[in-house]
Structure 1
Amino acid sequence: MPSSAAPTSASSSPEQQTAVDKALTLLKQLAEHDREIGVSELARRTGLTKSTAFRLLGILQRNDLVERVGSDYRLGTRLFDIGTRVYGPTSLLLRERLLPHLADLYELTHETVHLAVLHDTDIVYVNKIHGHRATRSPSRIGARMPAYCTGVGKALLAFDHDAAEAAIALGLTGRTEYTLTDPGAFRAELRRIRQEGIAYDRQEAALGLACVAVPVMGPGGRPVAALSVASGHRFDAARFAPALRRVAYEAGRAVIAAKAQSAAPSGLGSTPAA
């Protein structure tokens, strides 16, 4: 019996797509680029007519899903609000709770700093502050990356045996010539990270990019997130290790205190002074 499933937008021509398909195609194109794009260029890339693209962009703009900058368009702030909820309230709370510590790390380094969490075998960047020196990096707030080739990812996998073995089972694909792809060498690297409490990305995720990362330890001595400092591959990553350790320690204390406060019975810990 032939399948009655509707064709997916990826395999459908513009004529077969619904208005929702077309709108999502426009959003995906905007998401793939870090700059504003004009309606003519968006129409060309999506295969839509210019009039259709313009009409749909107007609807998306009214709903704050895209913003107009002159005659060009970019993703809107409403999408960011939605995106922060993709990985659940825990990631959102961590983002808000640890923002002051991320800012402290930035002030100590003036380099690009990240806050990330582990999601299955990937890491998700939940916050980022750009440094003074422009560095090409695949990291964006809300973006996912394979954990095995990033500093923050290795800092978290080192303390999560099941996730680390799952990542190895999926295959340690070489993203650059420096990526650790041998399971034995990768496990040895995770053992070193557990012993020293610090992880490095030496151009393993992207050429020209290096970073140093540490886990943020929550209740029970288990990591809940990771912080990193990133810059060009020639920067002295080890120089930032003391600042990272200090900020991660304070961030961990904040997480543990918040957890204890939320678990305390109503009224405890809030007795006014005599």
Structure 2
Amino acid sequence: MKPAGVIHHAFALLRALNDGPQPVGVSELAQRAGLPKTTAHRLLLQLEAEGAVERHGRQWGTGAALHGLARRTGPPPAFVDFLHPRLQMLAEGTGASLFLSVASAGTVQVVDQFNGSQLIDRVPAQTSSQPLQHPGSVIWKALREGLATTERGAVHPAVSCIGTVLGLPSGETAVLSLALPSDRAIDRFKPALDRCASAIGREALKISRRQYWAAWSPQVAGDRLRAGK
């Protein structure tokens, strides 16, 4: 067997980075990836130069370039055409920001979102990726617990979130989450969020039956990127 090369090690590192809450220190990340700490650190510096990872003090998280690739390999147009207006309708009716995140093979990515009016002036746009990197976020809590949950100020002190879990026909687990300023009574929006999640689940099943859904999943998208397709 040929010795593992740089590309193999880089992908091992990226997979390990996506395999849990971020940011994470080099020692823990190297252990996850099965790499020497010095190798992991050298690769992180190279990946940082390409925008694939970002430094957070002495810890690391996935970077904007990697998120951009994920967005370009998102769900089929038929699903987005249905999804986005539903998120927009709920956001405009409540002033909340809405996010649909999908977990697959240890990776979590936001496949669609709509920013509501209540948070635009309170929370900087660049913090929108923080819930994916914070172990206490409503996304990670919902995935761990497998049910609807609430998070108050864990990611941002001015923001509270509720999230509900739904299964997709492709086998992935999705979390639909809603964020509002902490001074709003967020629990009263749970029924509306549940209704929206149910509608998304039903439409995903219809798309699957039309054999559109099989064309996309985070794992398939990653395989196609690596194959250069």
Query: What is the TM-score when the length of structure 1 is the normalising length?
Result: 0.47
**Higher RCO by CA contacts (8 Å cutoff, separation 6 or greater):** 2
Paired position in structure 2 for 1:211? 161
CA distance in 1, matches of 2:172, 2:42: 41
Which has more helix, going by share of residues? 2
Quick check: 2:103–2:109 contact (8 Å CA) kept in 1?
A: yes
1:124 to 2:109 alignment: yes
**TM superposition shift of 1:225:** 1.4
Number of aligned residues: 163
Write the mapping of 1:8-87 to structure 2, written as runs, cut at 5 A: 25=49, 27=51, 82-85=69-72
Letter of the 1:257 counterpart = K
Match of 1:139 among 125, 128, 134: 128
SS of 2:100's equivalent? Answer: strand
**Amino acid in structure 1 at the alignment position of 2:49:** T
Deviations 1:125-165 (A, max 9, x none): 22222221233273239x8324x412233223333xxxxxx
Gap regions ≥5 residues in structure 2: 7-37, 56-63, 213-229
Give the structure 2 partner of residue 150 of structure 1: 137
**In 2 relative to 1, CA 25–214 (structure 1 residues): closer, same or farther, beyond 3 Å?**
same
CA contact (8 A) 2:165 2:173 kept: yes
- Amino acid aligned to 2:162: V
Contact map agreement 1:106 1:112 (CA 8 A) in 2: yes
Whether 1:100 and 2:88 are equivalent positions in the alignment is no
CA distance in 1, matches of 2:141, 2:210: 30
Aligned pairs for 1:161-240 within 5 A: 193=147, 198-219=148-169, 224-240=173-189
Q: Which residue matches 2:34?
A: none
Kept after mapping to 2: 8 A contact 1:216/1:226: yes
- In the aligned structure 2, how far is the partner of 1:117 from the partner of 1:145? 14
Question: Once the 2 structures are TM-superposed, how far is the Cα of residue 240 of structure 1 from its aligned partner?
Answer: 1.0
Q: Aligned partners of 1:219 and 1:26: how far apart in 2?
A: 34
The reply on whether 1:261 has 2:210 as its aligned counterpart is: yes
Contact 2:102-2:109 within 8 A present in 1 as well: yes
Q: 1:114 aligns with which of 75, 78, 99?
A: 99
Whole-angstrom CA distance in 2 between matches of 1:118 and 1:127: 13
TM-superposed CA distance for 1:112, in Å, is 1.3
User: By how many angstroms is 1:119 displaced?
Assistant: 4.1
Amino acid at match of 1:140: S
- What 5-or-longer segments of structure 1 have no aligned partner? 33-74, 160-192, 264-274
Larger Rg: 1
- Aligned residues: percent identity? 20
CA contact (8 A) 1:212 1:238 kept: yes
